[in-house]
């Protein structure tokens, strides 16, 4: 058996694989971007074969760059974009349609109908989530209702449903294992997070046959072994968690009150609430932080759909930057006297507004507004949205204790400009760790400790190291003025107006 851990991070825009040695150092990595399909306004799809091929490429590249082979890998951990929905034929293994991505809004009308029928309270009570197209259940329903012959096949038990983790496990084990972990299950709208099981009432509500569902396991459970035909030998899959949950783990946010905020395609702030299932009064999600050894740890989550995607828009849509890392430099050159706000509701607004029909808007444009101000508005929008989330979190968490730390990760946090503005607008310190690959580290740790190769929770938490703390410097009157401008911009963007 080898002494390395292979961790796969299947994200929204690219697939990555990292190889870690026994001392938890990264020794090789591979990455591949893949196509995004936007067949209609608000629709977002991925080709399942692109997902698989990019993962396969990333694994092979990571091993090659590390100078290792599959023989050197002791276990695999998987983390993934959550909620994205796949349905495939159990016999042929062929997906019946493209993957419907978490950002996809096509099921807004299904959600609205269920809301009008008064069903949201039941859904929230059981799942901690809201009736929003973001989650998987309405996407499965759409597939069964719109792909010819799908419902009959599902009723005959011939179709399997999975989020991306489940699909990858299925592919890696060549169809031997149809399983997910509790964190991914908890994002489907079909899983009772208090009981820790699929819920018949919700399955009936969304008209989804139970036979489609994967088996739900602990994050550090046994997910079978890779089929020898894939990497040349069977390797155990011993860690699985949705990417935001893996980041909680990778940031060692194991104690109640600790918050991590990850800036990937979207931004997701997660507050560990320990074994207390806190029901949000402020439109946040209650979710499973992780489940290990049969014990569930809960969290409050704020989900923003567009963070790094706004920088991608500057690069690929507006073409005002050549690469993402240019955005901070451009923003710093912006005219400080212009108050430009971007509300990046490209696919609606997530927490705490949950407005699927809203679309993006800019405010305050003048003849002097140029690329610099656009860049600054895009970066600042991410920080304002984080402020909305943390404000809601603090309200929900009052009475339970104080939020203790905010640890950040993801591509955007490399920008000092953005992180300083974040600390300023939050009026709170922001901790950036040395290890920025926290999501993939979380998945690797689940697998590494599951097989006894890596340290347990306490020792792992002690290995977390801060690279920089951003401390608020902004005058409070300026902060209040900026936040008021943001709130006004959002209120003018909401679809009800």
348 binds ligand G3P (CB under 6 A): no
Specify the residue, 141 or 187, whose C-beta has the smaller distance to ligand G3P: 187
Answer for which of 180, 183, 265, 386 binds ligand G3P (CB under 6 A) is: 265
Distance CA 19, CA 72 (A): 10
Q: Please enumerate in sequence order all residues whose Cβ is within 8 A of that of 125, keeping only pairs 6 or more positions apart, or say none.
A: none
Length of the chain: 497
353 binds ligand G3P (CB under 6 A): no
Answer for which of 2, 6, 7, 12 binds ligand G3P (CB under 6 A) is: 12
Q: Which residues pair with 19 in a beta bridge?
A: 6, 28
Question: Is 82 marked as a binding-site residue?
Answer: yes
Smallest gap from residue 81 Cβ to ligand G3P (A): 4
Distance CA 327, CA 375 (A): 6
Helical ranges in 29-107 per DSSP H: 48-66
CA distances from 468 to 66, 117, 160, 331, 351 (A): 29, 50, 45, 21, 28
Question: Is 134 marked as a binding-site residue?
Answer: yes
Residue nearest to ligand G3P (CB): 264
Tell me the site size for ligand G3P, rule CB under 6 A: 12
**With 0-12 CB in 10 A as exposed, 13-18 as middle and 19+ as buried, what is 382?**
buried
Tokens for 420? 């300083």
Answer for which of 52, 88, 102, 167 binds ligand G3P (CB under 6 A) is: 102
Specify the residue, 224 or 264, whose C-beta has the smaller distance to ligand G3P: 264
Question: Is 97 marked as a binding-site residue?
Answer: no
Stretch of 123-131, 230-238, 259-267, 444-452 contacting ligand G3P, by CB under 6 A: 259-267
Tokens for 317? 């849509």
Q: Please enumerate in sequence order all residues whose Cβ is within 8 A of that of 53, keeping only pairs 6 or more positions apart, or say none.
A: 32, 34
372 binds ligand G3P (CB under 6 A): no
Distance CA 242, CA 371 (A): 35
Q: Any idea what DSSP says for residue 74?
A: E
Residue tagged 């400009």 (tokens): 417
Closest CA to 320 of 369, 262, 286: 369
Question: Is 14 marked as a binding-site residue?
Answer: yes
Smallest gap from residue 493 Cβ to ligand G3P (A): 21
Question: Is 290 marked as a binding-site residue?
Answer: no
301 binds ligand G3P (CB under 6 A): no
Question: Is 36 marked as a binding-site residue?
Answer: no
302 binds ligand G3P (CB under 6 A): no
Q: Please enumerate in sequence order all residues whose Cβ is within 8 A of that of 32, keeping only pairs 6 or more positions apart, or say none.
A: 14, 15, 53, 54, 57, 58, 61
Question: Is 411 marked as a binding-site residue?
Answer: yes
Question: Is 308 marked as a binding-site residue?
Answer: yes
Question: Is 276 marked as a binding-site residue?
Answer: no
Distance CA 155, CA 369 (A): 57
Q: Any idea what DSSP says for residue 314?
A: I
Print the binding letters for residues 54-83 with ligand G3P: x by CB under 6 A, - otherwise.
Answer: ---------------------------xxx
Print the binding letters for residues 215-254 with ligand G3P: x by CB under 6 A, - otherwise.
Answer: ---------------------------xxx----------
Smallest gap from residue 187 Cβ to ligand G3P (A): 7
Question: Is 312 marked as a binding-site residue?
Answer: yes
50 binds ligand G3P (CB under 6 A): no
126 binds ligand G3P (CB under 6 A): no
Smallest gap from residue 80 Cβ to ligand G3P (A): 7
Question: Is 16 marked as a binding-site residue?
Answer: yes
Specify the residue, 184 or 226, whose C-beta has the smaller distance to ligand G3P: 184
Smallest gap from residue 305 Cβ to ligand G3P (A): 8
Question: Is 251 marked as a binding-site residue?
Answer: no
What per-residue string of b and e applies to 333-372 under the rule 16 or more CB within 10 Å gives b? ebeeebbbbbbbbbbbbbbbbbbbebbbebbeeeeebebb
Smallest gap from residue 462 Cβ to ligand G3P (A): 26
Distance CA 422, CA 417 (A): 9
Specify the residue, 11 or 344, whose C-beta has the smaller distance to ligand G3P: 11
Question: Is 243 marked as a binding-site residue?
Answer: yes
Q: Any idea what DSSP says for residue 172?
A: H
Smallest gap from residue 345 Cβ to ligand G3P (A): 16
Specify the residue, 68 or 285, whose C-beta has the smaller distance to ligand G3P: 285
Q: Please enumerate in sequence order all residues whose Cβ is within 8 A of that of 274, keeping only pairs 6 or more positions apart, or say none.
A: 255, 256, 297, 298
Smallest gap from residue 84 Cβ to ligand G3P (A): 8
Angle at 249 between CA 305 and CA 84, to 5 degrees: 35
Applying CB under 6 A, which residues contact ligand G3P?
A: 11-12, 81-83, 102, 242-244, 264-266
Residues in the annotated binding site for ADP: 12, 16, 265, 308, 411
Sequence ranges of the binding site: 12-14, 16, 82-83, 134, 243-244, 265, 308, 312, 411
In the annotated binding site for glycerol, the residues are: 82-83, 134, 243-244
Binding-site annotation: residue ranges for sn-glycerol 3-phosphate: 12, 82-83, 134, 243
């Amino acid at each position: 058996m080898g002494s390395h851990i292979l961790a796969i991070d299947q994200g929204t825009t690219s697939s990555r694989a990292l190889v870690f040695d026994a001392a938890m150092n990264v020794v090789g990595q591979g990455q591949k971007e893949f196509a995004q399909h936007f067949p209609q306004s608000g629709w977002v799809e991925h080709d399942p074969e692109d997902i698989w091929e990019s993962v396969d490429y990333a694994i092979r590249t990571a091993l090659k760059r590390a100078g290792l082979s599959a023989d050197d890998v002791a276990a695999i951990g998987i983390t993934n974009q959550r909620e994205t929905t796949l349905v495939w034929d159990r016999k042929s293994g062929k997906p019946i349609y493209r993957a419907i991505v978490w950002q996809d809004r096509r099921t807004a009308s299904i959600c609205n109908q269920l809301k009008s029928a008064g069903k949201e309270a039941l859904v929230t009570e059981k799942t901690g989530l809201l009736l929003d197209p973001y989650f998987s259940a309405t996407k499965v329903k759409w597939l069964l209702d719109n792909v010819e012959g799908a419902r009959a096949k599902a009723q005959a038990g011939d179709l399997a449903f999975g989020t991306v983790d489940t699909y990858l496990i299925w592919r890696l084990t060549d169809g031997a294992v149809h399983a997910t972990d509790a964190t991914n299950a908890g994002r489907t709208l079909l899983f009772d997070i208090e009981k820790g099981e699929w819920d018949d009432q919700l399955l009936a509500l969304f008209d989804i046959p139970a036979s489609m569902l994967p088996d739900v396991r602990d994050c550090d459970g046994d997910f079978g072994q890779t089929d020898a035909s894939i990497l040349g030998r069977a390797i155990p899959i011993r860690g699985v968690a949705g990417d935001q949950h893996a980041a909680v783990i990778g940031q060692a946010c194991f104690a109640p009150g600790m918050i991590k905020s990850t800036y990937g395609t979207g931004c997701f702030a997660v507050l560990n609430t320990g074994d207390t299932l806190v029901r949000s009064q402020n439109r946040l999600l209650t979710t499973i932080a992780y489940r290990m050894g049969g014990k569930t740890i809960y969290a409050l989550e704020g989900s923003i759909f567009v963070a790094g995607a706004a920088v991608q828009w500057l690069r690929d849509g507006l073409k005002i930057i050549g690469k993402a890392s240019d955005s901070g430099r451009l923003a710093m050159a912006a005219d400080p006297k212009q108050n430009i706000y971007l509300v990046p509701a490209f696919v609606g607004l997530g927490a705490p507004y949950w407005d699927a029909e809203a679309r993006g808007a800019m405010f305050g444009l003048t003849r002097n507004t140029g690329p610099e101000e656009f860049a600054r508005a895009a970066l600042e929008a991410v920080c304002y949205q984080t402020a909305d989330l943390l404000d809601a979190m603090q309200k929900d968490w009052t009475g339970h204790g104080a939020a203790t730390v905010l640890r950040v990760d993801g591509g955007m946090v490399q920008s000092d400009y953005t992180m300083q503005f974040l600390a300023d607008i939050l009026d709170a310190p922001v901790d950036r760790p040395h290890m920025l690959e926290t999501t993939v580290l979380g998945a690797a740790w689940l697998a590494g400790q599951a097989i006894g190769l890596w340290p347990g929770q306490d020792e792992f938490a002690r290995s977390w190291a801060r690279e920089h703390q951003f401390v608020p410097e902004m005058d409070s009157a300026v902060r209040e003025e900026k936040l008021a401008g943001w709130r006004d911009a959002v209120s003018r963007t909401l679809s009800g107006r």
